[in-house]
Structure 1
Amino acid sequence: MLTLSPDLSWFRNLRSPIAPPEWDYTPTPLVMRGGDPHIRALMRTISASESNSPRPYSILYGGQHLQDLSRHPDLCITIVSGPNAGDCTTAAGRYQMLTTTWYSKAKAYHPRSPFLFFSQDYSFEAEYQDEVVYHWLNDPSAWGVDLAELLRDGQIHEVLRILSPTWTSLGYGIETNSMSSFLPEIYQEMLAEELRGS
């Protein structure tokens, strides 16, 4: 059984390569309303490792922020460290989704997708980032397993392992960061907060 320290203030001293100086350890609440608190806590945990910003929905790889969220920015930014250094990435937003991933998942899960004719019209506004990722994580056919059920069974390590090929900073992939080893504890903290709010 995981025992949480009563105070997670030690997170404040951690920094990832994209964390601005004002970063606070607590992942900001989701814009999206409702939903399974276990999946919501998982989403906040993913963003703790992937976006590390008090303004996570507008962040690009490298720490710059977008002004226009009407669509995925599709900006290719050079990767400065790690196994993919020198390549470029289009990772953007709270969940650092690549352009191709965003369009693929928006087509399947964007709440407005039945009414859109062109993929570039998928809004990248905060609520839609949350909605797309929420429905993706909640789709057992996407992962081969029911992630919400695993989370309810206390298997956060297994869930992070399953998601690591998609979000490589989660602790089992090729690009762990200073947050990776703390993610199970962050998840528990976020879950307690989400359960209080539901």
Structure 2
Amino acid sequence: MVDTSPPSQVSGEEKSPDSSRRKKLLVATIAALGLTVAIQNWQDVEGLIMRYMPDWLAPPTHITGLRGTMPLAMRGGDPYIRALMRTISASESNYARPYHVLYGGRYVRNLNRHPNRCITIPVGPNKGNCSTAAGRYQFLNKTWSKMSRRYHPRPGGILLWRSYSFEPEYQDRVVHDWLSDRNYWNADIPQMLRQGKVRPVLRMLSGTWTSLGYGIETNSMSKHLPEIYERMLKEELGKSPSGLIQKPAISNENRTRRK
């Protein structure tokens, strides 16, 4: 029997496979962008919480698993100064990626130089101003410019076109040599630490790193820093038998010549 019924009509609205794939790709892209924004916003919130959380709100076990105390990127140096550096960053940059963190908790990828991004301070005594603090030790751009000229082991460029990499190893090296400079501080910090004078050292440094206590931006970590220092020192002495100073990456002679 011959089928005499009219041929079926193909709907003009039927979607091609390519069109369907494009729509799925668009939806996936929008979802990914939304997730990225959500993560970034959470980083901002986390940064503010960690920086301004009052002591009575801090969980009792918050000094365990500190992200800011992760091992240094640099090798060698004085184990007592290394422990102090990790203590400073416990309060200044307690984030998963401290070398890349900007003031407030956002991250920056490129560390070829100091990021120099001025971010508005939302609360606290400096509310309304902006801060260029960046990296593990929250260097202000002007402070990094000054200290990198004195202590950076491998500046790039020549004469007026000098450049100073902000890569993790160099952040560490500049701070290590800065803290070790008796002439700058008018004090022998390595010797003070060997004498157990941790609190006087923190007090002396609080004018530079205000979250160390004794300053205007004490935070929930500040009162725990002496304890954190002792823990970091045990780790660093374990890496450096007998507490001997390991060979630094740059000699005192070269450092003096750059000043």
- TM-score interval (norm. to shorter): 0.7 to 0.9
* Counterpart-to-counterpart distance in 1, 2:102 and 2:162: 18
Aligned mate of 2:110, from 58, 68, 78: 68
The code of the aligned residue for 2:172 comes to D
Where do residues 39-58 of structure 1 align in structure 2 (5 Å cutoff)? 39-58=81-100
Report SS of the residue matched to 1:33.
coil
- Report the CA distance shift for 1:181/1:116 in structure 2 as closer, same or farther (over 3 A): farther
The code of the aligned residue for 1:36 comes to D
Q: Which residue of 1 aligns with 2:13?
A: none
RMSD over aligned CA atoms reads 1.8
Q: Which residue of 2 aligns with 1:171?
A: 213
Shift of 1:113: 3.5
Are 1:25 and 2:79 matched, yes or no? no
- Report the CA distance shift for 1:146/1:64 in structure 2 as closer, same or farther (over 3 A): same
Shift of 1:53: 1.2
The code of the aligned residue for 1:25 comes to L
Report SS of the residue matched to 2:50.
coil
Structure 1, unpaired ranges of 5+: 1-14
Cα shift readout 1:20-59 (whole Å, capped 9, x = no counterpart): xxx9425100000011100000000000000001211000
| Structure of larger gyration radius | 2
Shift of 1:112: 1.5
Shift of 1:197: 1.1
Are 1:16 and 2:50 matched, yes or no? yes
Shift of 1:116: 4.1
* Counterpart-to-counterpart distance in 1, 2:193 and 2:158: 33
Aligned mate of 2:226, from 170, 178, 184: 184
Bigger mean CA deviation after superposition, 108-117 or 62-71: 108-117
* Counterpart-to-counterpart distance in 2, 1:159 and 1:24: 24
Normalised TM-score (structure 1): 0.87
State the aligned residue count. Answer: 181
Q: Which residue of 1 aligns with 2:251?
A: none
Give the helix-richer structure, 1 or 2: 2
Q: Which residue of 2 aligns with 1:129?
A: 171
